[in-house]
Structure 1
Amino acid sequence: MEVQEAHAWPSTAVEAEAIQDRLRPSLELDDPGPRRPATIAGLDVSYAEDGDRLVAAVVVLDGGTLETVEEAVVPGAAAFPYVPGLFAFRELPALLAALRQLDTTPDLLVCDGAGLAHPRRFGLACHLGVLTGLPSMGVAKTRLFGTHDEPGRTRGATADLMDGDDVVGRVLRTQDGVKPVYVSVGHRIDLDTACRHALALSPDFRLPETTRRADHLSRAALRGA
């Protein structure tokens, strides 16, 4: 698939924050998003023990059957130091390279990370959405930002993830009695639609199949390397 060239790469946290500020107005947050995406891509990155070497993986699933349609992996190195709130800058070059390897242009990107539920309202899902122009959403394993009440214990239970008076995401229970995940919009999708997709992508396990398969693929490639 075609992906536009990324912006000039920052060397400092100040430069990285300026890029987030410049790109944030490009977010389309009133788009309802794809109701029945034919293809859905999961993106994940695994790191070697040294913390610098990594493998980015993209797995494209059929939106109806959840069967794997296409895969891509790209080894690389962290492109930016670890700075809270700027984690996307470590992974974006390798993730964009993996997306460029795809023959399929997915209808939806699902990131293992945050979108609007981010201290600067511009997490990885937002960044990828703006650079690709595709609908994107984040499903995080842990809470990066915001406060919330505990959702109910049954599958499908939710609680709003709040930043003051603003809803920045939703805490979603994908299976009875398991820890919830943290869903937030990235670009060109609304929160209700994002949660519906996250639940549909998680028929048997806590994490969406997009994340599970991309994680397995990146870890296997890292072991092979």
Structure 2
Amino acid sequence: MIHRWDVTPKEAISIQKSLNDKLIFKPFNKTPTYVAGVDLSYVNNKSLAVIVVIDSKFNVVEITYHIDKIKYPYIPGLLAFREGPVFLKAWQKIKTNVDLVMFDGHGIAHPRKLGIASHMGLWIKKPTIGIAKKKLVGTYDEPSNTKFSSSYLWYNGEKIGIVLKSRENTKPIFISPGHLIDLDSSLNIVKKYITKYKLPEPTRLAHIYTQKLKNKIIEKE
């Protein structure tokens, strides 16, 4: 256990600042056998974490999820304290030896360089990447309207992410390394998992299963 979850917002910020020095960024040069996509959502005052594992041919090999009561308030920049515990419970159910995990959220493209992908990477000790639909911090030049055009996301004079046009005529996605992978490797891996859709297959499929589960939960209740 890295830290407690039942902390005040001030304590949470202090924890984030202490943990970002522990992040490791290094090239990820191998072709992953299994990649997991994570989507976190809410339904009926409960938090839901869905993990979908796919193989190198994009076949789904495992799906797991966990539902729990929401135990932390919504505070921008501290979402890991709201969503992290339910993800970790879902992660405990995974049986596949996953090589890399993609999160619907940010890695180091975060005010304290510890978004959900970075934070959870320290817990699970796996290479993690954040793929977000919206910017949290930083500035960038808009990529051209061609597939795979990109630009760097800058914050405090440092490259913290890559803004990628994953599809023409759509808004870009924001990629940032989480843990045990560097910026360029994060971009290269994400591009390999993008097909005709805006999001890479692991997080796209996780989002689809999240919506299906939410509908089932709503129907039951």
TM-score where L is the length of structure 2 = 0.94
Amino acid at match of 1:127: H
Shift of 1:191: 1.0
In the alignment, which of 54, 58, 62 is matched to residue 61 of structure 1?
A: 54
1:126-205 equivalences in 2 (<5 Å): 126-205=118-197
Query: What is the root-mean-square deviation in Å for CA atoms of aligned residues?
Result: 1.3
Number of paired residues?
Answer: 217
User: CA separation in 2, counterparts of 1:88 and 1:34?
Assistant: 28
Q: Secondary structure at the match of 2:213?
A: helix
User: CA separation in 1, counterparts of 2:85 and 2:16?
Assistant: 15
Percent sequence identity over matched residues?
Answer: 36
Asked if 1:12 corresponds to 2:8, the answer is: yes
Q: Which runs of 5+ in 1 are unaligned?
A: none
User: CA separation in 2, counterparts of 1:78 and 1:141?
Assistant: 23
- 1:164-212 residue CA offsets vs partner (Å, 9 max, x unmatched): 3210101001112221100000001111111111112111100111111
User: CA separation in 2, counterparts of 1:77 and 1:206?
Assistant: 31
Q: Secondary structure at the match of 1:104?
A: coil
- 1:117-138 residue CA offsets vs partner (Å, 9 max, x unmatched): 0001111010011111100010
Asked if 1:33 corresponds to 2:33, the answer is: no
Q: Secondary structure at the match of 2:143?
A: coil
- 1:135-179 residue CA offsets vs partner (Å, 9 max, x unmatched): 001000111110000011111100110013210101001112221
In the alignment, which of 179, 199, 211 is matched to residue 207 of structure 1?
A: 199
Shift of 1:75: 0.9
Amino acid at match of 1:21: K
Q: Secondary structure at the match of 2:72?
A: coil
User: CA separation in 1, counterparts of 2:90 and 2:125?
Assistant: 16
Checking the alignment, whether the CA contact within 8 Å between 1:61 and 1:70 is kept in structure 2 is yes
Shift of 1:34: 4.6
Amino acid at match of 2:47: L
User: CA separation in 2, counterparts of 1:55 and 1:17?
Assistant: 24
User: CA separation in 1, counterparts of 2:175 and 2:65?
Assistant: 25
Asked if 1:217 corresponds to 2:209, the answer is: yes
1:30-109 equivalences in 2 (<5 Å): 31-48=26-43, 50=44, 52-62=45-55, 64-109=56-101
Q: Which runs of 5+ in 2 are unaligned?
A: none
User: CA separation in 2, counterparts of 1:60 and 1:197?
Assistant: 15
Checking the alignment, whether the CA contact within 8 Å between 1:184 and 1:194 is kept in structure 2 is yes
Shift of 1:54: 2.1
Amino acid at match of 1:115: G
Amino acid at match of 1:39: Y
Shift of 1:6: 5.0
Shift of 1:11: 2.9
Checking the alignment, whether the CA contact within 8 Å between 1:135 and 1:188 is kept in structure 2 is yes
**Structure 1 counterpart of 2:114:** 122
TM-score where L is the length of structure 1 = 0.92
